[in-house]
Amino acid sequence: MRGGYASNTEQTSSGSADGVRVIDLRSDTVTHPSPEMRQAMFEAELGDDVFGDDPTVNKLEAMSAALLGKEDATFVASGTMGNIAAGLAHCGRGDEMLVGDKSHMFNAEAGAHSALGGIPVQTVRNDARGMMDPDEVRAAVRPDNIHYPPTKLIGMENTHNQAGGTPLTAEEVASVAAVAKDYEIKFHIDGARLFNAAVALETPVAELVKDADTVSFCLSKGLACPVGSVVVGNHKDIEKVRKWRKALGGGMRQVGVIAAAGVVALDTMIDRLAEDHANARKMSVGLAGIDGIECDPDANPTNLVFCHVSAKNPTEILQKLDERGVRALSLPAGWRFVTHYGITSDDIDHALDVVESTFKEYAAF
């Protein structure tokens, strides 16, 4: 036994419900803010952000721009809002954007670029790591022709959710950015988990995004804030993004009460991501040793653990795991377990015990 599955009343950082120890590994969006974040939110100095008068938001934006090596930044409600606002800032109606076929911007943002901006989306193949082949991106750029929508934006995701959270190196990012530069096309990075990439690669985050016109990153995932994302770029592009933020309903007034958590996160939560990566590695190795589960630890290098279940009744097993307090998601790429702030090494031991015993009892082959 790795962690005492028989103990149903033990409280951990991940919580309990009805006497069952709950280890919530569905997503890193389930994190709760740290005590320091809560205190900062309570004490936050506030103003009207739509007027540019909220000092806490202004501080977060200045910190974000400096950290990523860009001129300016704007705080937005979510990563989805950030990606949409950036796309609308770079493309007019009838302009085209190129993104990966497994990307969040294409698959998980409710078609907003097309619905709200009249922007057709063309996809380029993502490989198993989430990388796009620069030659395929180049071939997809539309020639100047009356029949075609002009390609105005290339979007890239790092780390890539559906590719196991694999971090793409600065050189890989630069190879795609070079295509955008050659054709004078804007280049946007969806960096929802960008700091996971920086920590895993031991590379300054500014180096990973140096070739991007705009970058969005989430505060509400591994950085453990309750709400929010940031978009960075040059002054001109961020002014456009800020205008679209307003049009999307993102003018949030005294939003420093939330942004205060982001200030703390940038100071205290980035280096801590290495703990999540270590716990994910431990989870991957443990899952790989359970009959009925295929899991490659080397394919899960950050905090996202994907595995494939060979049992004939995966839905039943997932429900049993939930009843026993271990929460995961079934996605097109496989089952996903995500480590994050509040999950300890002991939690991973306990979760693995629950998974192993549940498969032994319920898996049908």
Q: In whole numbers, what is the pLDDT of the chain averaged over residues?
A: 94
Q: What is residue 14's predicted lDDT score, i.e. its pLDDT?
A: 67
3-class state of residue 67 by DSSP: helix
Residue with the larger pLDDT of the pair 193 and 4: 193
Amino acid at 44: A
Is residue 9 pLDDT above 60, yes or no?
Answer: no
Average pLDDT over residues 347-363: 96
Average pLDDT over residues 99-119: 97
4's enclosing H/E stretch is none
Is residue 168 pLDDT above 50, yes or no?
Answer: yes
Find the DSSP H helices in the chain: 35-43, 55-68, 79-90, 104-107, 112-117, 134-140, 170-182, 194-201, 205-208, 235-247, 256-268, 273-288, 314-323, 345-362
The residues with which 337 forms a beta bridge, in sequence order, are 305
Average pLDDT over residues 222-249: 97
Q: Please, which pLDDT band fits residue 333 given cuts at 50, 70 and 90?
A: confident
Contacts of 270 (CB under 8 A, 6+ apart): 195, 198, 199, 223
Average pLDDT over residues 178-189: 98
Lowest mean pLDDT among 11-25, 104-118, 312-326: 11-25
Lowest mean pLDDT among 7-11, 50-54, 186-190, 325-329: 7-11
Under 8 Å between Cβ of 49 and 59: no
Q: Please, which pLDDT band fits residue 12 given cuts at 50, 70 and 90?
A: very low
Residue with the larger pLDDT of the pair 177 and 15: 177
Q: What is residue 180's predicted lDDT score, i.e. its pLDDT?
A: 98
Rounded CA-CA distance 287/41 in Å is: 38
pLDDT in tens, 203-215: 999 999 999 999 9
Is residue 173 pLDDT above 80, yes or no?
Answer: yes
Q: What is residue 16's predicted lDDT score, i.e. its pLDDT?
A: 67
Lowest mean pLDDT among 8-22, 98-112, 137-151: 8-22
Q: Please, which pLDDT band fits residue 19 given cuts at 50, 70 and 90?
A: confident
β-strand pairing of 329-331 with 326-327: unpaired
Is residue 145 pLDDT above 60, yes or no?
Answer: yes
Average pLDDT over residues 179-189: 98
Under 8 Å between Cβ of 359 and 324: no
**Domains parsed from the chain with CATH numbers:** 16-32+271-362 (3.90.1150.10), 35-268 (3.40.640.10)
Average pLDDT over residues 257-264: 98
Q: What is residue 114's predicted lDDT score, i.e. its pLDDT?
A: 96
